[in-house]
C-alpha cells in the first residue's frame, strides 16, 4: 500500500533545506521533474487568474499579519538530496518566487542560501532563469519585477518563449502589487518567513524516498503522468455515484445488451466521446474533449435543477457565491435518494448524450434551424450565430451561450425524447418558443418557470398556465394558433412577419384578419426594409401621431429611427395588443394605401411611401398648417437617424396636437446623459446646408441651447411662438450689430423673430414654415458679419 511509505512533516519552504532529522530526508535542492507540466499559476486566462488572485491574497496576508497559510500536502521523491515534487509543483514555485522577492526587498538575498537551489528539469531555459534569479536581487523602485528582470543584460532573448518563465514573471508582478499596496517593512516580512515556530506559510511535506521510482506514486494517484483534468475526476466520481442506482437496470438504448451502468462506462469514453471528437477535428482545436464534456454536463445538470424547481440547489453558500462542486450537483440531481425526480433526471442525462450517437448533430440542427433568414424551410434563429445549438453549447455554455439558446436546446432534446411528437407539431412548438424566448429578456432567476413552460409546450402543446414569459406574449401566440388552425392559407404570411428582425415573432402591430393579412405582410416586408426605413417613418406620421411614451414622467417619447431596428421593434412589440393599437391602426392604413398605389401604378413600395408623403405635405402647405408632424414628415433632419430614435419635450399634450415647438429635442441616446439636438433647429441646419456658417445644433448637459453662428457665437433658440436671438455675454459690439441686423428682418421684435400662428383645436399652429424662416435668419445674420 502506498500509505505505508508516507509520513508527513510540517514545513516551511526554508525548513525543507534544514539538516535531516526524525526520519525526514536531507534535501539540498529542488528540481521540478520532466514529467511535470509548465508552471501554470501565472497564466493570463480567467480561471488561472481567479485562482492566482485568491491564492496570493491569502499568502501575502499571512506574510504581513499574524495569520497563517496552510498549503495542504507536498509530496515527492528524494534521491541524493534532490527533491523531485510529484504533487505541489505550483505551490513550491510560487513559494520560491515569494522568498526571492521578499529577500531581495529586505536586502537579505544570499546567493549561497540552500533554498535558492530550485530549478526545472522540464526546460533548460527555466532552469537557467531560476539560477539567474538566485544571483540577482530585485532592487525595488518604480519598475515592476517583470519590467526590471526583462531589462537586465542577463535576461536572454529565448526566455521570452518559455511559458514557465512568462508565468513566473506574471506571478512576481502579482506579488509585487500586493506588497506595494500593504507597504510592509520587508525585514519584518523576511523574519516572519524564516520562523520555525508560528509559521506564516507552511505545508505538510510527504517524502517518498524509499520508493524505487517516485513517478510510480504520481501515476498511481493520477492514472497517468500528468494531473487529472476536472472531467476525469468528475467522470470517476459520476461512475461511482451512479453505479448503485444503475447496476442491473435495463439499458434504454435499442441495440445494447449490457445494463445501464455498463452502458455509461462504455459510452462516456466511446460513443459520447466520438460525438465530441468530431467537433474537435472540425474546429482544429486542442483535440481534447474534456472541456466540451464538462460544458454539456453542466448544461444538463442546470436543466435538471430547473426542472426540479430547485434552482438554488447549486449553491453551497449563496450569500458568499460559493457553489457546490459539479460532482455534488450531479449527485443531487441523479443519485440522491431524497430527490423524487432522480429517475427522470437520469433518463434525461442519458438521452441528452445518446440522442447524438451515430448521427451528425450539426446536420440535425441544420434541418431544424437556420441563422437568420425567413420563409419556408428551417426555422430562423434571429439572435443566434449558428443553427447548431449543440455545437454552440459544448463550445461556450456558461460563457456566450444565451439563456434563450439554452431553452431552445432543451426543447429540441425534449422533442427527440418524445416518441409521439410529429414534425409539424414539433416545428410549430419550436417556432412558438423562439417567438417567446428570442425577443424576451430571460431572467436566470426565473429559469425554473421558463423550463416548466417549455416542457409543457413541447410535450403537451399548451401554453396554459405559462410561467416566466409575459402573459400578453403567450396570449398572442395562442391567438396566432387559432388563426392558423382555422385559416392554414395565412400561415406563410404569419411566418414571414414573425421572421422579420423588426418583429421577432410578436404580431401586436398587425390585425390578424385572414382576408388582409397576406397582402399586408407582403407590403410590410417591403416597407420595413432598412433601405426605405426613413420613408416608412415619414409616411407613417402622415396617418397619425404614432409616438409612444417611454418614461421620464411622460416627457420622453419614441418614434422609429431610420437606422435602428430596436426603435421599431419597441414600437411594434412592446406592451400588449391593446397598447400597440396606437401604432397598429395607422400602420394598417398605411400598408393598405401603399398596396393600392402599387396595384394602380405598378410602382414600388418606396414609390408609394414617397407619393403618400408628397401628397400629404402638399395638402398641409395649401392649408398653411405647419404642426410638428409636418416638420417631421418634410425634413429628414428632424427625424432620428442616430442613437435611440427618441424625442423629448416638456410640453407634449395629445389633446392639443402633441408636441409643441419649443424644446423639442432629439435624443442621441436613451439617458439623461446623452447628447441631444433641438429637432427643428437641426432640421434647418440639415435642410439649409448650414454647416459652413453655423455649428451643428448638438449639445450635452445644456439647459436651453441654441444653434450658434460660427463667426460670432450668436445663438438662435427655438421657442413655441418665435426664434430668440442670444448674444455672447458682455459683448456690446455684437449685441448692437445683432440688434441692427434684426431690425430689418421680417417678423423681428427686439431679440425675437415671431412666427405667424393661428389657433387650431385649442393649440397655436404655425402658419408659416419656421424651418425655412430659420434658414433665412441664419443667412441674414451671417451676411451681417455675425
Q: Mean of the pLDDT values across residues 678-684?
A: 92
| pLDDT confidence of residue 107 | 95
Does residue 629 sit within a domain? Answer: no
* Closest CA relative to residue 439, chosen from 393, 384, 387, 493: 384
Q: Mean of the pLDDT values across residues 430-456?
A: 93
Q: Mean of the pLDDT values across residues 650-672?
A: 79
Same domain, 662 and 743: yes
Same domain, 370 and 269: no
* Closest CA relative to residue 710, chosen from 675, 676, 685, 741: 685
Residue 77: band (very low, low, confident or very high) from pLDDT cuts 50, 70, 90: confident
87 close to 218: Cβ distance less than 8 angstroms: yes
Question: Which segment of 41-50, 60-69, 684-693, 732-741 scores lowest on mean pLDDT?
Answer: 41-50
| pLDDT confidence of residue 536 | 94
- 3 state DSSP class of 83: strand
712-762 pLDDT per residue, tens: 888 899 999 999 988 887 788 888 888 888 888 888 888 888 999 999 988
| pLDDT confidence of residue 248 | 60
582-592 pLDDT per residue, tens: 999 999 999 99
For residue 272, give every residue at least 6 positions away whose Cβ sits within 8 Å of its Cβ, in sequence order, or none.
293, 353, 354, 357
Q: How far apart are CA 730 and CA 289, in angstroms?
A: 75
471-493 pLDDT per residue, tens: 999 999 999 999 999 999 999 99
Does residue 633 sit within a domain? Answer: no
| pLDDT confidence of residue 281 | 75
Same domain, 309 and 364: no
Q: Which three cell numbers stand for residue 303?
A: 436543466
| pLDDT confidence of residue 229 | 53
Does residue 741 sit within a domain? Answer: yes
* Closest CA relative to residue 771, chosen from 666, 627, 656, 611: 627
Bridge partners, residue 626, by sequence: 766
Residue where one domain finishes, among candidates 222, 244, 275 = 222
Question: Which segment of 204-208, 292-296, 393-397, 774-778 scores lowest on mean pLDDT?
Answer: 204-208
Q: Which three cell numbers stand for residue 712?
A: 460670432
| pLDDT confidence of residue 230 | 60
Does residue 634 sit within a domain? Answer: no
Q: What is the DSSP string of 25-77?
A: PP--EEEE-TTS----TT--SHHHHHHHHHHHHHHHHHHHSS--EEEEEEEEE
Q: How far apart are CA 130 and CA 143, in angstroms?
A: 20
Q: Which three cell numbers stand for residue 24?
A: 525526514
Residue 250: band (very low, low, confident or very high) from pLDDT cuts 50, 70, 90: low
Q: What is the DSSP string of 361-400?
A: HHHHHHHHEEES--SSSSEEESS-S-S-HHHHHHHHTTTT
Question: How many CB atoms neighbour CB 411 within 10 A?
Answer: 24
Does residue 425 sit within a domain? Answer: yes
Residue 76: band (very low, low, confident or very high) from pLDDT cuts 50, 70, 90: confident
Q: Mean of the pLDDT values across residues 283-293?
A: 73
| pLDDT confidence of residue 754 | 92
Same domain, 215 and 250: no
Q: How far apart are CA 563 and CA 530, in angstroms?
A: 7
CA distances in angstroms from 556 to 570, 577, 644, 697, listed in the order given: 14, 21, 12, 19
Provide the percentage of residues in the chain whose pLDDT is more than 90.
52
Same domain, 213 and 235: no
Question: Residue 314: is its pLDDT beyond 70?
Answer: yes
Does residue 638 sit within a domain? Answer: no
- Quote the mean pLDDT of the chain: 86
Please state the φ and ψ torsions of residue 307, each to the nearest 5 degrees.
Answer: -65, -35
Q: Mean of the pLDDT values across residues 666-694?
A: 86
94 close to 227: Cβ distance less than 8 angstroms: no
Question: How many CB atoms neighbour CB 43 within 10 A?
Answer: 18
Same domain, 154 and 263: no
| pLDDT confidence of residue 286 | 58
140 Ramachandran zone, left/alpha/beta (phi>0; psi -120 to 50): left
Residue 227: band (very low, low, confident or very high) from pLDDT cuts 50, 70, 90: very low
Q: Which three cell numbers stand for residue 664?
A: 423639442
Does residue 641 sit within a domain? Answer: no
Of the two residues 88 and 522, the one the predictor is more confident about is: 522
Range of the domain at 723: 646-786
Q: How far apart are CA 412 and CA 381, in angstroms?
A: 13
Question: Residue 86: is its pLDDT beyond 50?
Answer: yes
Q: Mean of the pLDDT values across residues 455-473?
A: 93
Of the two residues 448 and 124, the one the predictor is more confident about is: 448
Q: How far apart are CA 564 and CA 562, in angstroms?
A: 6
Question: Which segment of 254-258, 369-373, 745-749 scores lowest on mean pLDDT?
Answer: 254-258
Residue 213: band (very low, low, confident or very high) from pLDDT cuts 50, 70, 90: very low
HEC readout, 623-680: HCCECHHHHHHHCHHHCCCCCCCEEECCCCEHHHCECCCCCCEEECCCCCCCCEEEHH
697 close to 705: Cβ distance less than 8 angstroms: yes
Find the angle CA(4)-CA(7)-CA(12) to the nearest 5 degrees.
155
| pLDDT confidence of residue 451 | 96
Residue 599: band (very low, low, confident or very high) from pLDDT cuts 50, 70, 90: very high
Q: Which three cell numbers stand for residue 362?
A: 450539426
Q: Mean of the pLDDT values across residues 448-461?
A: 96
For residue 573, give every residue at least 6 positions away whose Cβ sits within 8 Å of its Cβ, in sequence order, or none.
439, 503, 504, 506, 508, 509, 580
Question: Residue 539: is its pLDDT beyond 50?
Answer: yes
| pLDDT confidence of residue 211 | 44
Question: Residue 44: is its pLDDT beyond 80?
Answer: no
Same domain, 510 and 573: yes
- 3 state DSSP class of 98: helix
Same domain, 369 and 351: no
Provide the percentage of residues in the chain whose pLDDT is more than 70.
87
Question: Which segment of 119-128, 284-293, 465-474, 743-752 scores lowest on mean pLDDT?
Answer: 284-293
Any idea which residue has 443566434 for its cell? 384
503 close to 479: Cβ distance less than 8 angstroms: no
Q: Mean of the pLDDT values across residues 377-383?
A: 89
Same domain, 251 and 215: no
Same domain, 407 and 555: no
Does residue 640 sit within a domain? Answer: no
Same domain, 580 and 659: no
Q: Tell me, what DSSP letter sits at residue 754?
A: E
Find the angle CA(718)-CA(719)-CA(721) to the nearest 5 degrees.
120
Instruction: Give just the sign of the alpha carbon dihedral 753, 758, 764, 767.
Output: negative
| pLDDT confidence of residue 223 | 35
484-528 pLDDT per residue, tens: 999 999 999 999 999 998 898 999 999 999 999 999 999 999 999
Q: What is the DSSP string of 137-168?
A: ----SSS-HHHHHHTSTTS-GGGGG-HHHHHH
Find the angle CA(231)-CA(236)-CA(238) to the nearest 5 degrees.
85
Residue 144: band (very low, low, confident or very high) from pLDDT cuts 50, 70, 90: very high
> Number of structural domains, the chain?
5
Q: How far apart are CA 314 and CA 321, in angstroms?
A: 10
Same domain, 488 and 599: yes
Instruction: Give just the sign of the alpha carbon dihedral 743, 748, 749, 752.
Output: negative
Q: What is the DSSP string of 667-727?
A: ESSSSTTS-EEEHHHHHHHHHTTGGGTB----BSS-SS--EEBTTT--EEEE-SSEEEEEP
Q: How far apart are CA 440 and CA 477, in angstroms?
A: 14
| pLDDT confidence of residue 218 | 46
Residue where one domain finishes, among candidates 297, 324, 358 = 358
HEC readout, 727-775: CCCCCHHHHHHHHHHHHCCCCEECCEEECCEEEECCEEEECCCHHHHHH
Q: How far apart are CA 96 and CA 75, in angstroms?
A: 16
Question: Residue 619: is its pLDDT beyond 70?
Answer: yes
| pLDDT confidence of residue 8 | 65
Residue where one domain finishes, among candidates 309, 325, 358 = 358
- Rounded to two decimals, what is the model's pTM? 0.68
Amino acid at each position: 500500500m502506498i500509505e505505508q511509505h508516507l509520513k508527513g512533516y510540517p514545513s516551511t519552504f526554508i525548513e525543507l533545506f534544514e539538516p535531516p532529522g526524525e526520519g525526514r530526508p536531507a534535501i539540498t535542492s529542488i528540481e521540478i521533474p520532466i514529467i511535470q507540466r509548465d508552471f501554470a499559476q501565472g497564466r493570463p486566462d480567467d480561471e488561472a487568474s481567479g485562482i492566482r488572485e485568491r491564492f496570493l491574497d491569502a499568502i501575502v496576508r499571512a506574510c504581513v499579519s499574524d495569520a497563517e497559510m496552510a498549503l495542504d500536502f507536498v509530496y515527492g521523491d528524494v534521491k541524493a538530496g534532490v527533491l523531485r515534487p510529484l504533487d505541489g509543483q505550483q505551490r513550491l514555485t510560487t513559494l520560491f518566487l515569494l522568498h526571492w522577492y521578499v529577500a531581495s526587498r529586505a536586502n537579505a538575498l544570499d546567493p549561497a542560501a540552500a533554498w535558492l537551489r530550485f530549478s526545472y528539469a522540464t526546460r533548460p531555459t527555466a532552469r537557467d532563469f531560476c539560477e539567474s534569479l538566485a544571483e540577482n536581487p530585485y532592487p525595488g523602485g518604480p519598475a515592476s519585477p517583470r519590467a526590471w528582470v526583462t531589462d537586465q543584460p542577463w535576461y536572454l532573448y529565448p526566455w521570452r518563449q518559455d511559458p514557465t518563465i512568462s508565468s513566473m514573471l506574471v506571478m512576481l508582478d502579482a506579488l509585487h502589487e500586493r506588497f506595494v499596496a500593504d507597504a510592509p517593512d520587508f525585514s519584518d516580512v523576511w523574519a516572519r518567513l524564516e520562523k520555525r515556530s508560528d509559521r506564516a506559510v507552511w505545508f505538510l511535506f510527504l517524502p517518498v524516498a524509499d520508493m524505487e521510482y517516485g513517478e510510480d506514486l504520481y501515476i498511481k494517484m493520477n492514472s497517468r503522468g500528468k494531473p487529472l483534468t476536472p472531467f476525469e475526476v468528475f467522470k470517476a466520481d459520476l461512475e461511482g455515484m451512479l453505479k448503485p442506482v444503475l447496476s442491473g437496470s435495463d439499458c434504454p438504448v435499442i441495440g445494447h445488451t449490457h445494463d445501464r451502468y455498463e452502458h455509461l462506462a462504455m459510452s462516456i469514453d466511446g460513443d459520447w466521446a466520438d460525438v465530441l471528437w468530431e467537433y474537435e477535428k472540425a474546429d482544429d482545436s486542442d483535440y481534447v474533449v474534456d472541456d466540451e464534456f464538462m460544458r454539456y454536463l453542466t448544461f444538463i445538470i442546470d436543466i435538471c435543477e430547473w426542472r426540479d424547481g430547485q434552482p438554488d440547489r447549486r449553491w453551497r453558500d449563496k450569500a458568499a457565491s460559493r457553489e457546490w462542486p459539479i460532482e455534488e450537483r450531479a449527485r443531487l440531481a441523479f443519485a440522491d435518494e431524497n430527490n423524487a425526480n432522480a429517475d427522470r433526471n437520469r433518463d434525461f442525462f442519458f438521452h441528452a448524450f445518446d440522442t447524438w450517437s451515430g448521427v451528425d448533430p450539426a446536420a440535425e440542427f441544420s434541418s431544424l434551424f437556420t441563422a437568420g433568414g425567413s420563409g419556408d424551410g428551417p426555422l430562423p434563429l434571429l439572435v443566434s450565430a449558428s443553427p447548431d445549438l449543440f455545437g454552440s453549447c459544448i463550445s461556450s455554455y456558461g460563457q456566450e451561450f444565451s439563456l434563450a439558446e439554452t431553452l431552445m436546446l432543451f426543447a429540441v432534446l425534449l422533442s427527440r425524447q418524445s416518441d409521439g411528437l410529429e414534425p409539424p407539431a414539433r416545428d410549430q412548438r419550436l417556432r412558438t418558443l423562439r417567438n417567446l424566448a428570442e425577443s424576451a429578456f430571460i431572467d436566470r432567476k426565473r429559469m425554473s418557470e421558463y423550463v416548466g413552460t417549455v416542457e409543457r409546450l413541447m410535450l403537451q402543446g399548451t401554453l396554459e398556465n405559462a410561467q416566466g414569459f409575459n402573459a400578453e406574449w403567450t396570449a398572442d401566440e395562442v391567438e396566432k394558433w387559432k388563426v392558423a388552425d382555422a385559416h392554414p392559407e395565412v400561415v406563410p404570411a404569419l411566418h414571414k412577419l414573425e421572421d422579420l428582425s423588426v418583429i421577432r415573432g410578436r404580431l401586436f402591430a398587425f390585425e390578424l384578419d385572414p382576408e388582409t393579412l397576406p397582402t399586408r405582410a407582403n407590403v410590410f416586408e417591403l416597407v420595413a426594409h432598412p433601405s426605405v426605413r426613413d420613408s416608412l417613418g415619414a409616411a407613417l406620421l402622415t396617418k397619425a401621431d404614432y409616438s409612444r411614451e417611454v418614461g421620464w414622467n411622460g416627457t420622453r417619447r419614441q418614434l422609429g429611427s431610420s437606422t435602428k431596428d430596436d426603435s421599431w421593434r419597441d414600437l411594434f412589440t412592446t406592451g400588449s395588443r391593446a397598447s400597440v393599437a396606437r401604432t397598429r391602426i395607422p400602420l394598417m392604413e398605411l400598408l393598405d394605401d401603399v398596396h393600392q398605389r402599387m396595384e394602380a401604378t405598378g410602382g414600388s413600395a418606396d414609390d408609394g411611401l414617397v407619393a403618400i408623403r408628397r401628397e400629404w405635405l402638399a395638402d398641409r402647405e395649401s392649408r398653411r398648417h405647419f404642426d410638428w408632424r409636418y416638420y417631421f414628415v418634410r425634413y429628414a433632419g428632424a427625424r432620428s437617424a442616430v442613437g435611440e430614435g427618441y424625442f423629448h419635450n416638456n410640453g407634449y399634450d395629445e389633446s392639443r396636437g402633441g408636441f409643441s415647438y419649443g424644446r423639442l429635442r432629439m435624443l442621441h441616446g436613451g439617458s439623461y446623459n446623452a447628447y441631444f439636438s433641438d429637432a427643428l433647429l437641426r432640421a434647418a441646419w440639415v435642410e439649409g446646408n448650414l454647416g459652413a456658417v453655423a455649428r451643428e445644433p448638438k449639445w450635452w448637459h445644456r439647459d436651453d441651447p441654441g444653434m450658434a453662428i460660427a463667426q460670432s457665437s450668436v445663438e438662435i433658440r427655438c421657442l413655441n411662438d418665435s426664434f430668440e436671438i442670444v448674444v455672447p455675454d458682455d459683448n456690446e459690439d455684437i449685441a448692437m450689430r445683432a440688434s441692427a441686423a434684426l431690425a430689418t428682418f421680417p417678423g423681428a421684435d427686439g431679440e425675437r423673430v415671431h412666427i405667424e400662428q393661428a389657433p387650431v383645436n385649442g393649440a397655436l399652429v404655425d402658419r408659416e414654415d419656421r424651418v425655412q424662416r430659420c434658414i433665412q435668419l441664419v443667412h441674414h445674420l451671417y451676411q451681417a458679419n455675425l
